[in-house]
Structure 1
Amino acid sequence: MKARFTKWIRQFYGSLVNSIAFYPAIIACCFLILSYVLLYIDFSPLGKAIKSRLDFVSLRDASTARSIAATIAAGILSLTVFSFSMVMILLNQAASNMSNRVLDSMIENRFQQWVLGFYIGTIVYALFLLSTIRDTDTGIHVPALSVYLLILLTILDIFLFIYFLHYITQSVKYETIIRRIYVKTMAGLKQQCRENEDSAPAAPAHFNSSHTLRAPESGYFQGFNRKGLVQLCREQNWELRFCYHMGSFVMKGVAFAEINAAHKISQEQQEQLYTLMEFHNGEPLDKNAFYGFKQLMEVALKALSPGINDSGTAVLSLHALADLLAFRLNHYPVLAFRDSEGIPRVIICELSFEEIFKRTVLPVWDYGKEDRTLRWEMQKALRQLQGQSASEADAAVINHMLRKVEKAIAESEDEDL
């Protein structure tokens, strides 16, 4: 029970941190604290002395201060609604014309969250300030310093809105979205792969299984806590091997891991293992680089659909895929995680280059082989991949596909003649 609660806390924390409302909530709380500090300074002897000596930072009329705060709160609220209506339009357009899977990377954009947080923080600041203004005959009792800071924040909000408009116009471009997916996928590949096969620890050739671990729930196997799982296997002298690669859908009760253990594994130990493993929906690029390949493939297929018919976007996705495949050609994933003594404790499954190639490039070709532009670009990309292949098996896959593309191009040219 404790292990399940710990896992729930970890998953809840992950969803909370990645939520679009997390940073805005934190920033709004900071603005609330700022308003309290400024009001304290305003009504302190120091603040009263500053306002009595400097006339240009004092307000004699409480109604004026109240009007400024109310006007700014209403204005920034309208600005917030307008700004993020544009974001919703952008997300809807991306989902309709590209793929639903790209929405996660767009929603997680930190700049949008910072802008939203700054807007909401200004509104919170203005409302809190508005609730503290009282009618008085003495100008030093009006929170003038807080009001002038509110005016400064409003000016910053306006300039932030102008830049936000520019940012949105750039984000709506398909090449920007494709580039964002490419960058995140490349970062994931660099974390998961090594430059040569010798430096990437390989999985043992033989594995003796004495216990089978079954999926506690249906869902997508998203990975595991590597440090914690290796440590647990070291303490219990286990060797664990996963039967499915990360990103696979596993039904409840299906054997998804095998353990080489000298003694029978207790129910409590199974709970510890399940706590360190993740089963949930979604395609987070930071968890699995293959999701990036898949999303680029889906963008290309959607662009080639009759309703969209945008071969240019499909070509951009194809180029990004080709560059990622070129990196994967000469970099090899780590298949075994070892403890401090060098003993392999956790062995994983990873998609080979051939499997990634067939799952991503072939669907694009099947859907867009009648498009002349895509055929030419596919030929160019495959020829460049052909020159970078260090493995005969990988080269054979590329050559087979290249011959198929060249045959289609030749047949098309013969028909034109």
Structure 2
Amino acid sequence: MKKRILKWVRRYYSNVVNSIAFYPALIALSFLVVSYLLLMFDFSDPGKNLKAKLLDFISLKDASTARTIASTIAGGILSLTVFSFSMVMLLLNQAASNMTNRVLGSLIGNRFQQVVLGFYIGTIVYALFLLSTIRDIDSGVYVPALSVYLLILLTIIDIFLFIYFLHYITESVKYETIIARIYIKTLDQLKSHCHLKSDAPSLLELPNAHTTFTARESGYFQGIEEEMLLTLCRRHNWIIRFHYPVGSFIVYGTPILTIYTSNPVTEDMEKQLDVALNFYRGEPIERNPYYGFKQLTEVAVKALSPGINDPGTAILSLHALIDLLTYRINHHPAQTITDEHGTERVILQEETIEELFEKSILPIWDYGNEDRLLRTTLQQMLLQMKPLAKTEKGKELIQAYFQKTEQL
């Protein structure tokens, strides 16, 4: 039961963390805690002495003035928050309409805009909580002057954040900025995923005795929990070979992997194995760099559609794809996972460079082969790419695609 709960948490953790409301909620909660602690200090004996003696020049004597400041700031920052959220929604709507829905994940998960929105909401929470503590009393030292002045400081910071936020959103709506972000994130993950200089498939001789494991649910195969899977393999002396690469949609009941073992595989073992497999929706590049290839391809295809007709954006995506493919053609992923003794326990199914070319370049070519600008750009990119390939197989693949562009 605990492992089932753990799998459920893994499934929804990414959605929660990348939600546009996650960081704003955390920051707002932090501001609430800070306001409570500062108010406690404000009304404590050290706070009263500080306001009455050491910092008399900033002491706020009038409760109505403090209340007016807090209410004015709360209303003003609320307007800033609404305007900022509207700009974010406009950006998301424009990206979804003119590019692809798949890029929304990276835009929603942008940390800077979440921090800015969280700072706004936190300031509002702070102001409202402070407003509820201000009372009309005879002695001015009981007015939370320190908290009010901190609120003024936070408001000044909010104003400067808003000014920079305008510049940031203006840059973010540019297609080249969105494409560059996808490219950078994909390249970083690709370097981590494909670090071998040569292709190293498994040379392990697999035993004849085996058991087929079928998918327990329909969904997108998003990878494995490596340590959990290796523990199972060591404990039961298994060798596991996957049939599909990460990112594939698996229909319920489809054979997803083969367990090579001479011992019987019990239902309890299969349940433990199922917990080590991740199935959930979405295309997080952090989990699979090939999602970045797919997103860039979809951006290019959408830009070439008659409704958009923007070959310039398609060419930007094509440039990013060619650069990523150039790296991938010379670097290869590890296709096996070994235990601490060096024994191969898991054999993975990886996207080949031929499949990546077919999935990335051919859809763009099918849509844009009649566009002279795109055709010329693709030919130039392939000519630049060919001498960079370090294997004859790679050069032949590039040459085949170049010839395809000349046949039109």
TM-score class normalised by the smaller sequence: over 0.9
Q: Is the 8 A contact 1:354 1:394 kept in 2?
A: no
RMSD: 1.4
Structure-1 residue corresponding to 2:280 = 280
Whole-angstrom CA distance in 2 between matches of 1:209 and 1:59: 82
Q: Is the 8 A contact 2:297 2:363 kept in 1?
A: yes
- Give 1:27-42 correspondences, 5 Å limit: 27-42=27-42
- TM-score where L is the length of structure 1: 0.95
Q: Which amino acid aligns with 1:354?
A: E
Residue 206 (structure 1) shift:
4.4
Q: Is the 8 A contact 2:195 2:331 kept in 1?
A: yes
Residue 56 (structure 1) shift:
2.5
Whole-angstrom CA distance in 1 between matches of 2:266 and 2:339: 23
Query: Over residues 312-363 of structure 1, what are the superposed CA-to-partner deviations in whole Å (9 max), with x where a residue is unaligned?
Result: 1111100000000000111011100000111110111011111100111011
Q: Is the 8 A contact 2:206 2:260 kept in 1?
A: no
- Give 1:12-91 correspondences, 5 Å limit: 12-53=12-53, 54-91=55-92
Residue 202 (structure 1) shift:
3.5
Structure-1 residue corresponding to 2:210 = 210
Aligned length: 407
Structure-1 residue corresponding to 2:238 = 238
Structure-2 residue corresponding to 1:134 = 135
Structure-1 residue corresponding to 2:155 = 154
Residue 209 (structure 1) shift:
5.1
Q: Is the 8 A contact 1:223 1:277 kept in 2?
A: yes
Q: Is the 8 A contact 2:385 2:398 kept in 1?
A: yes
Q: Is the 8 A contact 1:216 1:253 kept in 2?
A: yes
Q: Is the 8 A contact 1:239 1:346 kept in 2?
A: yes
Structure-2 residue corresponding to 1:166 = 167
1:291 maps onto 2:291 in alignment: yes
Structure-2 residue corresponding to 1:145 = 146
Q: Which amino acid aligns with 2:276?
A: L
Structure-1 residue corresponding to 2:126 = 125
More off after superposition, 341-350 vs 204-213? 204-213
Query: Over residues 347-398 of structure 1, what are the superposed CA-to-partner deviations in whole Å (9 max), with x where a residue is unaligned?
Result: 1101111110011101101110111110111011111121122333332221
Q: Which amino acid aligns with 1:194?
A: H
Q: Is the 8 A contact 1:335 1:347 kept in 2?
A: yes
Residue 69 (structure 1) shift:
0.6
Query: Over residues 64-118 of structure 1, what are the superposed CA-to-partner deviations in whole Å (9 max), with x where a residue is unaligned?
Result: 1111111111111111010010000000000011100000011110111111111
- TM-score where L is the length of structure 2: 0.97
- Give 1:389-404 correspondences, 5 Å limit: 389-404=389-404
Structure-2 residue corresponding to 1:253 = 253
Q: Is the 8 A contact 1:203 1:347 kept in 2?
A: no
Residue 205 (structure 1) shift:
5.8
Q: Which amino acid aligns with 1:254?
A: T
Residue 2 (structure 1) shift:
3.4
- Give 1:326-337 correspondences, 5 Å limit: 326-337=326-337
Structure-1 residue corresponding to 2:108 = 107
CA distance change for structure 1 residues 76 and 203 in 2, over 3 Å: closer, same or farther? Answer: farther
Whole-angstrom CA distance in 2 between matches of 1:101 and 1:72: 38
Q: Which runs of 5+ in 1 are unaligned?
A: 409-417
Structure-1 residue corresponding to 2:192 = 191
Whole-angstrom CA distance in 2 between matches of 1:11 and 1:319: 34
Query: Over residues 41-73 of structure 1, what are the superposed CA-to-partner deviations in whole Å (9 max), with x where a residue is unaligned?
Result: 111122111222233321221111111111111
Whole-angstrom CA distance in 1 between matches of 2:325 and 2:168: 30
CA distance change for structure 1 residues 310 and 209 in 2, over 3 Å: closer, same or farther? Answer: farther
Q: Is the 8 A contact 1:60 1:137 kept in 2?
A: no
Query: Over residues 195-218 of structure 1, what are the superposed CA-to-partner deviations in whole Å (9 max), with x where a residue is unaligned?
Result: 4126x5635364645111110101
Structure-2 residue corresponding to 1:415 = none
Whole-angstrom CA distance in 1 between matches of 2:254 and 2:5: 23
Q: Which runs of 5+ in 2 are unaligned?
A: none
